[in-house]
Amino acid sequence: MGKAKLILGLAVLGLATVAGWQIAACEIANLELQTDMRDIAAQVASRIGLEAPNSDEDLRNAVIHKAEEHDIRIEPAQVTVQQTGSGKTLAIYVAADYKARVNLLLFSFNLHFTPSSAK
């Protein structure tokens, strides 16, 4: 009886660890993507005149590329880009809306994320 409880307890602990690991990996990838989106939206070089501001399509492609670096799959339709102002008053907002799938032994579920360049 004591060995069965120990084995069952270790199995439950193992499953919780695997689930926690997968969820934490998705959360960390989302946080890294959000940091990258803030960097993309900053457009430091265009603010000081070193290069022309990027188009909406360029910004969208940059977000998709950064997402791929973090093993996040998003489509162009899932990325929102808004630019207001010009020159030094240029404000850029980028956001994404995606779901990450977590697969466990007996079931799977989706985590919904909406990272953006807003603070």
45-66: per-residue pLDDT in tens? 666 566 666 788 999 999 999 9
As a whole number, mean pLDDT of residues 70-87 equals 90
Token pair 């265009």 is found at 46
Q: pLDDT digits over 88-119, tens only? A: 777 889 999 999 998 877 888 999 999 999 87
Q: Evaluate whether residue 35 is within a structural domain.
A: yes
Q: Work out the average pLDDT over 70-83.
A: 94
* Mean pLDDT of all residues in 56-77: 94
| Helix, strand, coil distribution of the chain in percent, nearest 5 | 55, 20, 25
Q: Which domain holds residue 12?
A: 2-113
pLDDT band for 71, please (50, 70, 90 cuts).
very high
Q: What distances in angstroms separate CA 91 from CA 39, 73, 82, 83, one per listed residue? A: 13, 26, 8, 6
Task: Give the three-state DSSP class for 1.
Answer: coil
CB atoms within 10 A of CB 61: 14
Helix (H) or strand (E) holding 68: helix 56-69
Q: So what's the pLDDT on residue 31? A: 95
54 lies in some domain: yes
Kindly state the tokens that stand for 57: 């399509």
3-state secondary structure of 117: coil
Q: What is the pTM of this model?
A: 0.83
Q: Cα dist. 102→72, 74, 97 in Å?
A: 12, 16, 17
In a domain, 119, yes or no: no
Task: Output the pLDDT for position 46.
Answer: 63
Q: Please check whether residue 108 lies inside any domain of the structure.
A: yes
How many distinct structural domains can be found in the chain?
1
Contact 106, 15 (CB under 8 A): no
